[in-house]
Amino acid sequence: MNEAVFPEHFLWGGAVAANQAEGAWDVDGKGPAISDAIRNGIVGGSLDAEINESKYYASHEAIDFYHRYKEDIALFAEMGLKCFRTSIAWSRIFPNGDDAEPNEKGLQFYDNLFDELLKHGIEPVITISHFETPLHLVREYGGWVNRNLIAFFTKYCEIIFKRYRNKVKYWMTFNEINHMHTIPLAAGAIELKNEDTKLQDIYQASHNVFVANSLAVKMCHEIIPGSQIGCMLSLSIIYPNSCNPEDVFEAYELRRRSLFYSDVMMRGYYPNYIKRIWKENNISIHNEPGDFETIRNYTSDYVGFSYYRSTTHKAGMPIQGNTGGIMGLDNPYLEKTAWGWPIDPKGLRYVCNEIYDRYQKPLFIVENGYGGDDEFAQDGSIIDDDRISYLNKHLLELNEAIEDGCEIIGYTWWGPIDIVSAGTGEMKKRYGFIYVDKDNDGKGTLNRTRKKSFYWYKQVIATNGRALFESTI
Ligand code: BG6
């Protein structure tokens, strides 16, 4: 392909999450979220017993988007973003998660934020829960293993759907819900303490999430006619390490462990393969009358997914989770980022085809990005050619996927502005087209600077992808 085939109203955008950008962690009535009690990133980190403010927690200030969103949105508009994905911090709306009444100041903040986006012609794309469950729901209820969370979540959904029904059309329920197995604290608000009950807890939490997801879909369609509400998975591809059938089948099973989540949420029923897994692991799922009908009747409208890289898996090797998917063996055909993530643009085309073939429902690439360290040149500019190269190669493959027949709603680059890394809690792992002056210890002016990639993405959007074919990087 040597021409751009992005549809006319393609949603070019950028994506962040509240806890990685907003800061203001205890301002205007916000309660603590799990992300506020972890110091070293959600992958390796665990919840502190108490939040100790003499220590550094990256999310507490993050990039202070809470107070600087107008300046940042003006920059997004200058880049030409058509949409912006962020999450609502659940604990801004319900500080403990189980409160009787919502926090008006929290609701007002998102009114202001969405108004500002809409003023600039930028469509908000909203994740309802992105690794930031109210801390109280973990401490008091044990997270999504507890069925009570369904009611708390649906109450939260009802409030935000009613409040923002005239402002937000695109929604997603749970960020990267398939991380339930590898990062259960982030995805399921579960502090796994007992290896013996690990799988039971994960599948019980998953069932509760499926019911909550379907109830949210039902409500969203009832309250906001014409809305689109998707599921969201981390879908970096998994390759077998060799053509040894053992490697091939184990890689397939691992992939299916992720696709289990979209299978249920897109098709509306539990697939047969899960029954064997439950039987062999003595898992029994508590359900209540009506659960399976709810799951069947209210399926997600689209598959939102993140894609950062591919992974290479060998049969029998231990599974190591990370934000971008599982970590695997070196793939000799691929280069890696400074954080060891293989760069695999073709994998994006593969995943789009894989998922579209499976469901024939629209796809939304809601995270794809390059985490690297940036340096200022002597003239004060930031020349981030590696990021531009990553972006271009992935978008060219996305263009191929569209030509392959995949229906794609849009593409939101992860971190159009530098934010805190979810995995490591670092600022140094930068994704942005806009640099934020802040280091890993929290020092810096928080000033924003446009990188070279800022101007490049602007060109790509302005030409609806045609500029990709003119790049020399
Ligand atoms: C995804 C998450 O897993 O990966 C984001 O949805 C996260 O929250 C992103 O930031 C990139 O991971 P990291 O660890 O580099 O921030």
- Going by C-alpha positions, the residue among 234, 232, 399, 350 that lies closest to residue 301 is 232
Q: What angle do CA 378, 379, 385 make, to 5 degrees?
A: 85
Span 357-414, pLDDT tens digits: 999 999 999 999 999 999 999 999 999 999 999 999 999 999 999 999 999 999 999 9
Q: Give, using CA atoms, the residue closest to atom 8 of ligand 1.
A: 422
- Identify whether 176 is a catalytic site residue: yes
Average pLDDT over residues 60-79: 98
**How far, in Å, CA of 313 to CA of 248, rounded?**
9
Gap between the Cα atoms of 9 and 127, Å rounded: 21
Mean of all residue pLDDT scores within the chain:
97
Average pLDDT for 434-440: 97
In ligand 1, the atom with minimum distance to the C-alpha of 369 is 11
> How many A from CA of 417 to the centre of ligand 1?
13
> What residue spans of 43-197 are helical by DSSP H?
58-61, 65-79, 90-93, 104-119, 135-139, 148-163, 184-188
Q: How confident is the model at residue 338 (pLDDT cuts 50, 70, 90)?
A: very high
Mutational pocket test of ligand 1: of 16, 323, 373, 429, the residue with most ligand atoms within 8 Å of the beta carbon: 323
Q: Strand 448-450 vs strand 434-436: parallel, antiparallel, or unpaired?
A: antiparallel
Known catalytic membership, residue 367: yes
Domain 11-470: state its class: alpha beta
In the chain, domain spans:
11-470
Burial-class residue 335 by CB neighbours within 10 Å (0-12, 13-18, 19+).
exposed
CA of 186 to the centre of ligand 1 (A): 11
What single string gives the DSSP state of each residue in 265-289?
Answer: IIISS--HHHHHHHHHTT------T
CA angle 402, 176, 146 (to 5 degrees): 145
pLDDT at 140: 98
List the catalytic residue out of 116, 123, 367, 397: 367
- Cα separation, 13 vs 411, in Å, equals 6
> Which two structure tokens, joined as six digits, stand for 223?
């309250």
- Residue 100 confidence (pLDDT): 98
CA 179 to CA 32: how far, in whole Å?
Answer: 22
Length of the chain: 473
Distance 421 CA to ligand 1 centre (A): 6
Instruction: Give the rounded percent of residues in the chain with a pLDDT score beyond 70.
Output: 99
Rounded-to-integer distance, Cα 346 and Cα 263, Å: 24
pLDDT digits (tens, 9 = 90+) for 100-129: 999 999 999 999 999 999 999 999 999 999
Residue 214: which H helix or E strand, with range? helix 198-223
Angstrom distance (rounded) from CA 94 to CA 152? 9
Could you identify the atom of ligand 1 that is nearest to the CA of residue 429?
Answer: 15
- Cβ(326)–Cβ(310) below 8 Å: no
Residue 193 has pLDDT above 90, yes or no: no
Parallel, antiparallel, or unpaired for β 325-327 and 123-129? Answer: unpaired
- Residue 473 confidence (pLDDT) above 70: no
Q: Is 422 a pocket residue for ligand 1 (Cβ < 6 Å)?
A: yes
Q: Kindly tell me if the per-residue pLDDT of 146 is higher than 80.
A: yes
- The distance of Cα 359 from the centroid of its chain, to the nearest Å, equals 20
Given a cut of 80, is residue 471 above it in pLDDT?
no
Residues whose CB falls within 8 Å of the CB of residue 290, separated by 6 or more in sequence, listed in order: none
Amino acid at 405: G
Q: Which residue has the tokens 């600087």?
A: 68
Q: How confident is the model at residue 472 (pLDDT cuts 50, 70, 90)?
A: low
pLDDT grade, residue 40 (50/70/90)?
confident
> Residue 195: what pLDDT?
86
Q: What are 197's two structure tokens?
A: 């009950």
Give the pLDDT band of residue 470 (cuts 50, 70, 90). confident
Cα–Cα distance between 384 and 372 in angstroms, integer?
9
How far apart CA 42 and CA 138 sit, in angstroms, is: 14
Q: How far is it, in rounded angstroms, from Cα 472 to Cα 5?
A: 20
| Predicted confidence (pLDDT) per residue in 224-274, tens digit | 999 999 999 999 999 999 999 999 999 999 999 999 999 999 999 999 999
Q: What sign has the CA pseudo-torsion 446, 447, 453, 454?
A: positive
